[in-house]
Structure 1
Amino acid sequence: MLEKLTVTYDGSAFYPEESINLEPNTRYIIQIIAQQKPTDTTNKNAWDMLEEMAGTYEAPEDWSSEHDHYLYGTPKRNLHP
């Protein structure tokens, strides 16, 4: 049986944040993984996220047409402006 629980540790005991379906007085092996930060959830779709990020990165004007040059160092395809 594998069950995932989110718990809080107060220094002496673990307290689950939701109800659990385990048999009392039974030994269990638990694995502890620290949660760094609660992740922010959003109702935005990928297009909304991309629209917010557009224009936030400084790049040369020919970035989209010459991306191989800037990413991989290949010669520029269009040497004339």
Structure 2
Amino acid sequence: MVHKLYATYDGHVLLPEGEVDLLPNHRYLIKIESPQQQRAEPKKNVLQRLSEKAMDLGVSDLASHTQRW
């Protein structure tokens, strides 16, 4: 038998939104799936974050503008 219901997690337990037809003190398998609008954006890696902050300095080759020792 498959039951589909929405529940809210309060930090300790899942609270069903509405009545459930389950037997108390029985073991159940629960599949957790977040609604589409609440999915977290994937974390960006360091190269993606640096790329977003990169600026065009108007110099074609910075190596040609440095002193050589």
TM-score (norm 2): 0.51
Q: How many Å separate the matches in 2 of 1:15 and 1:36?
A: 20
Aligned pairs, number: 38
Moved over 3 A (4+): none
Q: Hey, what does 2:12 align to over in structure 1?
A: 12
Instruction: Tell me by how many angstroms 1:37 deviates.
Output: 3.4
Q: Hey, what does 2:31 align to over in structure 1?
A: 31
- Give ranges in structure 1 of 5+ residues lacking alignment: 39-81
RMSD: 1.5
TM-score (norm 1): 0.44
- Give the secondary-structure state (helix, strand or coil) at the position aligned to 2:8: strand
Q: Hey, what does 1:2 align to over in structure 2?
A: 2
Instruction: Tell me by how many angstroms 1:11 deviates.
Output: 1.0
- Give ranges in structure 2 of 5+ residues lacking alignment: 39-69
